[in-house]
Structure 1
């Protein structure tokens, strides 16, 4: 069964062969996929070992007559040591591979092709496209509401740096097809780099319980070719959506504090 699982792929059309993950859509998905696959294999091995031993004990030490009582063992130091150290070893191995995958995912690109500022606020997303050729270096933005979700446009096969900000509470920026999410924390700028590798329309979400309309804090992600991407940014400029996104000017401040840090 473990050998069969190793034949799965994050790019397969079958949900079963992707082990319930979405179809991969970025250059950072391989590390998460390997971690996910390894976890499934480890769980399968532990399951077979534990239940195999249980069944073996049921059969090997079953009562064979009405008067016979199977031998009773009160203490068994080797087994107790196994029960203690085996889980610790499993956790250490999982921790090592998790940190390795995390470091690979968070590795930055030297010179990303695009930089997008993401502002998550109660309860909407806003996206600021910084210093783009299609708008002669003028920043343009798009935003949404719970009733009319925002759209995030990305060029396929080109690196993007996301700078995440929030003016109010903690949100979490999550595009499931990228196999990655990152918290949007008030007063702190989190960032990550990614290259979309597959065109399509995806649904992004807030993955942190952020309040009343958390469930409606979604956005559409459109991964398109460069020509469509440039045309969309030009249309934002034509509509007058230039400068910083809605809420962007307050995104560097924690709600309830003035710029000097004194409460008001």
Structure 2
């Protein structure tokens, strides 16, 4: 029996490693950001604030509950006869209102901030100067960038073990960018950890459907950031890697001029 468990455990570990696409490109996180990576978009600030607020509220609630448990253990430990019940609080209207209204207020506050921030993250106004068509396929990505109506050559990749070897999406800093996601095979998920956001890429969604699009505004944080598929999509899912390079506007303009669609190699 024990011998059978070893191969099963090994297979399970391999499956988990593949499903989570384990690699050495995990961004650095710290406690001041609630273990989230440093965001590189304005929308990331929204997610960061909602995350921190939820943790503060949860920790405060936990502290109150633990305090009440300790208080009850210390001050209500009087020994009683086996048949004697402690004082009951059933049908005590003030107490019942208290433990009904407080959770209701808490849930309402959480719902308000979550709904508000979800609406902000899903907002696409259609006037972004940079638009990126993202095509996911088994098992890589194809990026086509359009700047003020002028398209660039598509950048396509193949399965790789290092995100730096995958297709690279070049974007300017301090700029609004609109993404349009599509796929023709299975469900994928477009994820750049520093965006603090990911969106499933689902086959069959028609062009123009708002479910295919999202929008970000990049911050002035030039650098190369890892991206990946976050949805188990097949045998090479863990190698479906890419990178996003944030560059100054002048460098981006040069990149667009050099890689315009139809230009000479």
1:49 aligns with 2:64: yes
Please, which runs of 5 or more residues in structure 1 have no aligned partner? 1-12, 243-264
Q: 2:39 aligns with which of 24, 36, 42?
A: 24
Residues 116 and 163 of structure 1 are in contact (CA less than 8 Å); yes or no, is this contact kept in structure 2?
Answer: yes
The structural deviation recorded for 1:108 is 2.5
Aligned to 1:216: 239
TM-score (norm 1): 0.74
Task: Tell me which residue corresponds to 1:119.
Answer: 135
Q: Distance in 2 between matches of 1:240 and 1:69?
A: 91
Between 71-80 and 204-213, report the one with greater CA deviation.
Answer: 71-80
CA contact (8 A) 2:29 2:37 kept: no
CA distance in 1, matches of 2:263, 2:91: 74
Tell me the SS of whatever aligns to 2:232. coil
- How far did residue 180 of structure 1 move? 1.6
Q: What CA distance in whole angstroms lies between the structure 2 residues aligned with 1:241 and 1:23?
A: 38
Distance 1:191 1:17, change over 3 A: same
1:76 maps to 90
Match of 1:181 in 2: 198
Partner SS, residue 33 of structure 2: coil
Is contact 2:144-2:151 (8 Å) kept? no
User: RCO (CA 8 Å, sep 6+): is it higher in 1 or 2?
Assistant: 2
Correspondence 1:27-42 to 2 at 5 A = 27-42=42-57
Deviation at 1:42, TM superposition (A): 0.8
**1:31 Cα offset (Å):** 1.8
Q: Is the 8 A contact 1:62 1:70 kept in 2?
A: no
Cα shift at 1:46: 0.8
Judging by fraction of residues, say which structure has more helix.
Answer: 2
Number of residue pairs matched by the alignment: 226
CA distance in structure 2 between the aligned counterparts of 1:120 and 1:44, rounded to whole angstroms: 39
- Partner of 1:163 in structure 2? 180
1:87–1:212 distance in 2 versus 1, CA, 3 Å = farther
Pair 1:39–1:129, CA change in 2 (3 A): same
- Residue 20 of structure 1 deviates from its aligned partner by 0.8
Match of 1:106 in 2: 122
Alpha-carbon deviation of 1:73? 4.4
Which segments of 5 or more consecutive residues in structure 2 lack a partner in the other structure? 1-27
Supply the distance in 2 between the matched residues of 1:116 and 1:238 (Cα, whole angstroms): 14
* CA-CA distance at 1:232 after TM superposition: 3.1
* Alignment partner, residue 167 of structure 2: 150
Q: Secondary structure at the match of 1:51?
A: helix
Please list every run of at least 4 consecutive aligned residues from structure 1 whose deviation after the TM superposition is greater than 6 angstroms: 67-70, 238-242
Q: Secondary structure at the match of 1:94?
A: helix
